[in-house]
Amino acid sequence: MNFLRVTLIRILYAAILLIAVLVLNFSLMHAAPGDVADTIAQAAGGIDAEALEQIRREYGLDQPFLVQLGRYIGNVLQFDLGYSYFYSDKVTNLILSRLPATLLLVISAQLLALVVGVVLGVFSARKPNGILSHFVTFLALFGYSAPVFWTGLLMLVVFSLMVPLFPVAGMRDVTIEGGFFVQALDIAHHLVLPMLTLASIFLALYSRLSRAAMMEVLGSDYVRTAKAKGLSPRQVVYKHALKNALSPVITLAGLQLSAVVSGAVLVETVFSWPGLGTLAFQSILARDTPLILGILFFSALVVIVGNLLTDLALRLVDPRVGGKR
């Protein structure tokens, strides 16, 4: 009961936050020089001032700011994010068509980083002066300091050009024919390098955090109690310590959802991965205001929903979050 109430309140907050984001995005874009009419004019190869005015009137761009804002929010609430003049398609369609590629990339990278990061963290925490522990420190340093596009380019040069194991760009090879399985294999083949690149940032974060969390938990009183009960080292580490150490890692993973879109922009651009990131990049180059706004809104949606889900996931591992279940 309580759980439901807390969740509903969280959803309400999330909705308010989303509207605030909408207002902010729209105001910022409005303040920036150039508008949709300019974009259309550009697409049409230049038109005269009168035609420009005509377009402005048609799209309501001559209306006062508040009126435009109100109409925009109204539209968004009806799931209408506007129309992209650059791509000649609805923004929602564009986003939805690019979403699967990004989700595939981001989720696989996150999962890889989480699993490997936690495993590295746990093993190195058990031997704080071992080789693995130093490796984690090094990895974290590397992950923090190496720019992701640089890592990506390095991967490309090494594993695609010098040792041609993986394709250079894209998500699928159009020349390959075959059933679902063949296609899936082809996509997986294309996925490896961008996924590794994106995972490298998260891996640094997760391995360090889980090592720190694990070290702290291993020194805690309840772990001493678990040992005093005569439990095996495996039970002490994986049953009693790990579940506690996971809370901060899950929280961080949730927060990283925000980095998903921004990180994906770079990785997708380097590998020409046909996802939201490349779409965002192109929309900015083309000054396609509705599309930029749409992607911004969508990113905010991802982050806010992600935080909600993180909260729910935390409740599953930690009964103290959010009171009695």
Partner 1 sequence: MTEALLKVENLRIELTTRAGVAPVIDNLSFELGHGENISFVGESGCGKSMTALAIMGLLPEGVGRVASGRILFEGEDLTAASDSRLRDIRGNEISMIFQEPMTSLNPVYTVGEQIAEVLRAHQGLSARAARDMAADLLDAVRIPNARARAGDYPFQMSGGQRQRVMIAMALACRPKILIADEPTTALDVTVQAQIFDLLRDLRRDTGTSIILITHDMGAVAEMAERMIVMYAGRNAEIGPVEQIIDHPRHPYTKGLISCVPHIMATLTEDRPDLTEVPGIVPGLREFGQDRCLFASRCAYRTEQCLRQRPPAMAFDNGQLADCWHAETL
- The nearer residue to partner 1, 6 or 231, going by C-beta atoms, is 231
Q: How far is the CB of 233 from partner 1 (least distance, A)?
A: 8
Cβ count within 10 A of residue 1? 6
Question: Is the Cα torsion angle 119, 120, 122, 123 positive or negative in sign?
Answer: positive
Letter string b/e over residues 10-23, b meaning 16 or more CB atoms within 10 A of that residue's CB: beeebeeebeebbe
Q: How far is the CB of 128 from partner 1 (least distance, A)?
A: 9
Q: Are 268 and 191 in contact (CB under 8 A)?
A: no
- The nearer residue to partner 1, 30 or 126, going by C-beta atoms, is 126
Q: How far is the CB of 307 from partner 1 (least distance, A)?
A: 21
- The nearer residue to partner 1, 140 or 217, going by C-beta atoms, is 217
- The nearer residue to partner 1, 103 or 321, going by C-beta atoms, is 321
Q: How far is the CB of 9 from partner 1 (least distance, A)?
A: 21
- The nearer residue to partner 1, 45 or 230, going by C-beta atoms, is 230
- The nearer residue to partner 1, 235 or 258, going by C-beta atoms, is 235
Q: How far is the CB of 227 from partner 1 (least distance, A)?
A: 6
Residues that bind partner 1 (CB under 8 A): 220-222, 224-232, 235, 240, 243-244, 317-320, 324
Q: Which amino acid is at 45?
A: G
Q: How far is the CB of 220 from partner 1 (least distance, A)?
A: 7
Q: Which amino acid is at 108?
A: S
**65-77 vs 2-31: helix axis angle to the nearest 10?**
140
DSSP 321: T
Q: Which amino acid is at 203?
A: L
Q: Are 298 and 314 in contact (CB under 8 A)?
A: no
Q: Are 161 and 253 in contact (CB under 8 A)?
A: no
